[in-house]
Each structure stands twice: as C-alpha cells, then as structure tokens.
Amino acid sequence: MSLKQIVLRLARNEDFPDGDDQQGYVLVAPLSADGMIDLEGWRAQRELCEVRRFHPDPDEAADGLLTHNGSHWRFHYDEDHEGPDEGGYRLGDHPFRPGEYVTIASHGEKPLVYVITEVTPFHPH
C-alpha cells in the first residue's frame, strides 16, 4: 500500500473566524481506496507514518509519529514539553480527501477543526 502525504490546515473556528493557513499538520499515512487510514498498511510501514505540526510560533511546531491504540489514532511527539499524545475525533472514521474536515485536540486544549487541503503520494527521502 502506498503512503500519502496529507496536509491539514486550520479551518474556520470560533477563535479563528477566517481559519489560518499557517497552522496545521502534515501526516504521512497509508490510505485505502476510499480515503480512510489503512490499519494494516500502517502496521506494515509504521516507521514512515510521521506527523509534523506546523505553526508560525516555532515553539508550537513539532515532529512525531502517527500511532494507533485500540480504535484511536494519535499523534505522538518525543519532546517532553509536548505532553500527552494529541488525539483526533474519530480519525479512523473520516475519509482523508481534499475538502473534508477533521477535529484535533492539541495538548488536551479545546479541539479545533482542520480542513484537508492536499493529499499527494509520499516519497521517502
């Protein structure tokens, strides 16, 4: 199963009425034909399934891994100051296609909505 690079950008939210293209995530994950994260594909290539949080404030940027526990997909960062893993709201139930929306809670803060802006083939370096 081929990996995809998925770009999520902050969508319109209560505190961000216009959204913010400078805040978001870049995920690397295997997707099924219907755009869902493929668990078996992830198991086979988990070391390549990365997460990068981008933000204008460098202290908010982070690199980590896409992890799976039970029925939940999470973003795991190695830095101690990052705190607990970030979770998305039912990420396993959402198709990852441009124009779709997902909800992610960063550091246990108020969950924010992100729009999927790009899904492209991933080519490891």
Task: State residue 1's pLDDT score.
Answer: 62
Predicted TM-score (pTM) of the model is 0.91
User: Cβ(78)–Cβ(84) under 8 Å?
Assistant: no
Task: State residue 69's pLDDT score.
Answer: 86
Number of domains in the chain: 1
Task: State residue 85's pLDDT score.
Answer: 75
Distances (CA, A) of 113 to 7, 38, 101: 13, 22, 7
Task: State residue 115's pLDDT score.
Answer: 97
Task: State residue 42's pLDDT score.
Answer: 96
List the CATH number of the domain containing 38.
2.40.160
Q: For the segment 32-43, what is each residue's pLDDT rounded down to a tens digit?
A: 999 999 999 999
Q: For the segment 57-110, what is each residue's pLDDT rounded down to a tens digit?
A: 998 888 999 999 888 899 998 766 666 677 777 888 889 999 999 999 876 678
Range of the domain at 111: 3-121
Distances (CA, A) of 120 to 23, 79, 80, 99: 19, 28, 31, 14
